[in-house]
Amino acid sequence: MNSVISIEEQALEKRKILNEAILSGDSQVQKFYDDAVVFVTGGSGFIGKQLIEKLMRSTNIRKMYVLVRPKKGKSVSERVNKILENPVFTILRNEKPSFVDKIVGIEGDVSEINLGIDEETWNTLTNEVNVIIHAAATINFAETIKTATLTNIRGTREMLKFAESCANIKSIVHVSTAYANATRSRVKGEVKEDFYDSPIPPDALIKLAESVPEDTLNGLITPLTQDWPNTYTFTKTVTEDLIRRQARDLPICIVRPAVVIPAFEEPSPGWVDTKNALGPSGMILGPYMGVTHTYIANDAISLDITPVDLVNNAIIAAAWETNERFTKGDKKINIYAISGKRNPFKWKQLRDVTYKSQFKLPANEAIWYRFVVQTRYKFIYVILSWLLHYIPALIVDSLCVLMEKKPRLFKMYRLVDTLTSVFVYFTTNDWVFHDGNTLSLYNKMSATDKLLYNCDMSSVDMKKMVFLWCYGVLKYIAKEEISNTHTLKKQFWFKIAHYTIFPLYIYTLYKVAYIAVAFIYHILTMICA
């Protein structure tokens, strides 16, 4: 466990260095945020939580308004407090507990007209807010086109309307995704930091979503979405086109992160939101817990991952540069991609780093030996899923029923299959995401700002990053006590059990299949006779 101890020690030293830089007063980005009033959407999400934490820890903003959706039985302040209970705020609470006094929850919903904000609150906000960070979106890849349109596209239109109403707006950041234009027709090709033509005018799609029944809308729009893998990426590209058309006179930029994974350094190495168990981090969690043993991926593709702290550093710094450029008369809308282009990492490297013995981390709650069989072919994956997931699940669930316990495993593997079908597009294809604007932004910053708001992916040790990904998933999602070394012994005995039982399991399946085939053959012979 020396590697884990080393991580914690290095994190402590880095925090000291960052704290000194924060107090130095030698940061142009910090000065931009001095006495600023920031409006954040998507504050309850993975990116949003770490964004709030970093802004509160590293800048001296006057106030932060956070848009939160109403929830039955809970007030806005209760919802904000729930967000602030997340472990991402632990260090900030200890070092700067008064930060909570600067955060004000605003009841609203990006999928509603005027962001669901009442008129009185709207007027108050537009008189005060001067920085907007719009990170809210539905990231459900299987979302209906109607909901995705009203949330992602119309929600951004309403955000722009809000920004236009702000009397002293200084900067706006819209958080998109590098995959907005990672279409099937561009696989292995380049995706530039530029706007791409939308397959449908944004206003036209919004009007259809508002007025046409869902089934009819699906029939109309589905032919237009064939180049995109899901409604999320499709609506994101249409949203970017909306910004190009309607935000020409606003100080706005777009930040496009690739696959966002746990923090590399801030506020704690490996920090990740528990909700990410249903995202890319689930592909780490499942095998580590001895639950999932197969997935679809191509070893040869580049895995475009970027830690959440570098993403938010880019967002914070991009707002500063956008204001700088706009005040000088440059109204071009910049797009900043955060990708691994300058620090490529292949899927094979991820697999090797994750499962080599020196990188293994214990999981006390693991239910079986940790192993994974990878394939790039769907039909082989289906066979492996039945062999390694569904048949064992049927056996275990049957035993649970006999013991009057709730069967869970088969249902869980159906969810795993659903997630696999969602992610297979990204685990078997890759693109080259240009990131020249982000590199230019980084190079423009002072030495202090490069330290405080590092957004240079080439500075990241990718092997260490993957180790931290595994570490964070176990610590923050699985809630494991990683220093508990006896769990390594548990894996040792699981390994012995696996290699003892698995051959017997395969042999039993073979015998059952042989008997079944022989029985069917016998019946057919009797019928034919």
For 125-166, the pLDDT digits (tens) are 999 999 999 999 998 888 899 999 999 999 999 999 999 999
Calculate mean pLDDT across residues 230-234.
Answer: 95
CB contact burial 488-527 (16+ within 10 A = b; e otherwise): eebbeebeeebeeeeeebeeeeeeeeeeeeeeeeeeeeee
Nearest Cα residue to 137 out of 53, 217, 48: 48
Q: What share of the chain is helix, strand, coil (3-state, %, to 5)?
A: 60, 10, 30
Is residue 385 helix, strand or coil?
Answer: helix
pLDDT at position 484: 56
Distance between CA atoms of residues 498 and 108, nearest Å = 52
Token pair listed for 102: 């600067």
- For 363, which DSSP code? -
Distance between CA atoms of residues 183 and 44, nearest Å = 29
pLDDT at position 183: 96
Give tens-digit pLDDT for 274-296: 988 888 888 888 888 888 999 89
Q: Provide, rounded to the nearest whole percent, the portion of the chain with pLDDT above 70.
A: 96
- For 366, which DSSP code? -
Is residue 183 helix, strand or coil?
Answer: coil
When pLDDT is cut at 50, 70 and 90, the band that residue 260 belongs to is: very high
Give tens-digit pLDDT for 177-202: 999 999 999 999 999 999 999 999 99
Nearest Cα residue to 472 out of 344, 286, 285: 285
17-272+303-344+431-460 to CATH, choices 1.20.58.100, 3.10.450.40, 2.40.70.10, 3.40.50.720? 3.40.50.720
Distance between CA atoms of residues 122 and 82, nearest Å = 24
pLDDT at position 351: 80
Of residues 55 and 372, more confidently modeled = 55
When pLDDT is cut at 50, 70 and 90, the band that residue 247 belongs to is: very high
Which residues, in sequence order, are bridge partners of residue 253? 173
Distance between CA atoms of residues 129 and 487, nearest Å = 51
Task: Quote the pTM value.
Answer: 0.93
Nearest Cα residue to 200 out of 223, 176, 174: 223
Which residues, in sequence order, are bridge partners of residue 107? 68
Backbone angles phi, psi at 306, to 5 degrees: -145, 130
Distance between CA atoms of residues 319 and 308, nearest Å = 17
When pLDDT is cut at 50, 70 and 90, the band that residue 358 belongs to is: very low
Query: Do the beta carbons of residue 84 and residue 50 sit within 8 Å?
Result: no
Residue 279 neighbours by CB distance under 10 Å: 20
Query: Do the beta carbons of residue 336 and residue 254 sit within 8 Å?
Result: yes
When pLDDT is cut at 50, 70 and 90, the band that residue 419 belongs to is: confident
Is residue 173 helix, strand or coil?
Answer: strand
Nearest Cα residue to 475 out of 2, 7, 30, 37: 7
Distance between CA atoms of residues 276 and 473, nearest Å = 9
Write down the mean pLDDT value for the chain: 90
Side chain identity at residue 154, one-letter code: R
Give tens-digit pLDDT for 83-131: 999 999 999 999 999 999 999 999 999 999 999 999 999 999 999 999 9
Burial of 469 (0-12, 13-18, 19+ CB in 10 A): buried
Q: Provide, rounded to the nearest whole percent, the portion of the chain with pLDDT above 90.
A: 64
Nearest Cα residue to 250 out of 328, 137, 332: 332
pLDDT at position 360: 63
- Any idea where the domains of the chain sit in the sequence? 17-272+303-344+431-460
